[in-house]
A and B are shown apart, each in its own frame.
Chain A
């Protein structure tokens, strides 16, 4: 269980995190979502006591992280994949961390097996690919068999197989009753992995909701309707909460009515339809819509909302 209360961090005049309050509950995967520069990493650093909040506070399992006597048993964290001395082998890196909590050598070998690095465990970490670095970071987070797991952008640099692996790992960890907080700037990835979402933009809370609820409220669904008699159909569809637009070919874009309802209205009025296509806005579009105001480094022409294209 992670609880943040009015968490604020300023670096000089720049406010990285502003008055952020949220609770991360055990037993489910919580996605921590926001555009680059939204304050996700800063928040995670504050959770782990690496950065001291300017004001507000955050506790892990009831105490500030640094107050825990056996921190590795409480929280396992990976902040950035490249957080390993490049000259040390994976196994020695993990051993150095493990002994601080009296964790046995056998557990080091075990987590190396879990993340699939057995073949390269004795190679220097400096030669690892980004994906292997991620796996080593995750191995470090699992060392203490902790009740709470915090991972910053764990899917970055992983191949599709790796992404699937981490998705299943996170779900399994949550199913064991652990608290799992995972940051990402990819809405589509979180939609598949997380059950709960905390969305921030420019350091402020935008949404704290279930994935289901978020999808429902944020998606702007519409239906394309084509008919030879748009002038007849259009007034029949008009009503509260319904928005009808038409393009130059006479195709109507209807928001606020289901395709079933539109079809029924057309049939009742004997209007022939040549097309009736429901469109669901993707989660990525919904996320971009929601955070448009809060993007730290906007591009002049927003790129296509496309999961693969965003992995940079």
Chain B
């Protein structure tokens, strides 16, 4: 039969590769309106917050710090980044899309790597651009109003600007991992928000001696060290903090990989 003779070379052409799965996940992420809206919120929050604060502050508020304050929008952006990271995976389970996805890529793991990589890349690009813009705009506004400002050449400031984007990027990977581990949108979003928002507050209720030893190692506080200009002595050094945060993301992603490989889809 003629179809039999054509088939072998065709099959060779149809191989699943990591690059092809990356392409597939890229198509998936930019063809959903929810992606657009959520990321528009994250970018908008970062872009609006710093300049707005700079416009109204007299620079004499408690703990005023021109670099960090100009990037305060990250507080809202991290919510959007966490929620969308979970949805990138759980959206497929909720709609049943996961079946065609895993039928197309039966080895499964390339899908998880691709989702994490594509989403992290998108967040990194957008948040770096947004942070940099927010910082520059804010400093321009501050100096025009005669309020103390800073610049990228000041010691540690580039670290703070790019560190804010890096924190959100690693958070993106962590969220994808949590989504893949839990496979449920509500559970995933609750977990990410709990980790980022609730856990630091809960830790503060512990006796000071305990809290001082626990707080620095929380994912959010370890990850944020890079984005803070002058650390308190109890906190981790920026490099160490980033490493600890990356370890959290790596452990969760590895657990998600094991689960994805072993569980029925």
Contact = CB atoms under 8 A, between A and B. Distances in A.
The secondary-structure label for the interface of chain B is: helix
A250 interface: no
Given A83-B96, A147-B3, A97 B104 contact: yes
Residue from A48, A69, A101 having most chain B Cβ neighbours under 10 A: A101
The secondary-structure label for the interface of chain A is: loop
A100 B20 contact: yes
A171 interface: no
B46 to A, nearest CB: 25
Interface stretch (B26-34, B63-71, B222-230): B26-34
A50 to B, nearest CB: 4
A51 interface: yes
Interface residues of B, number: 38
A101 B14 CA distance: 4
Contacts, number: 120
Chain A: interface size category: 35 or more
Interface string A49-85: 1111000000000000110111111110101101111
A70 B15 CA distance: 4
Interface stretch (A88-96, A230-238, A239-247, A271-279): A88-96
Contacts of A95: 27
A226 interface: no
Contacts of B154: none
B99 A80 contact: yes
5 contacts: A80-B96, A86-B95, A92-B31, A100-B16, A140-B100
Interface of A: 45, 48-52, 65-66, 68-75, 77, 79-80, 82-89, 92-93, 95-97, 99-103, 140, 144-145, 147, 176-178
Interface of B: 1, 3-4, 7, 10-16, 20-21, 23-25, 27-28, 31-34, 91-92, 95-97, 99-107, 264-265
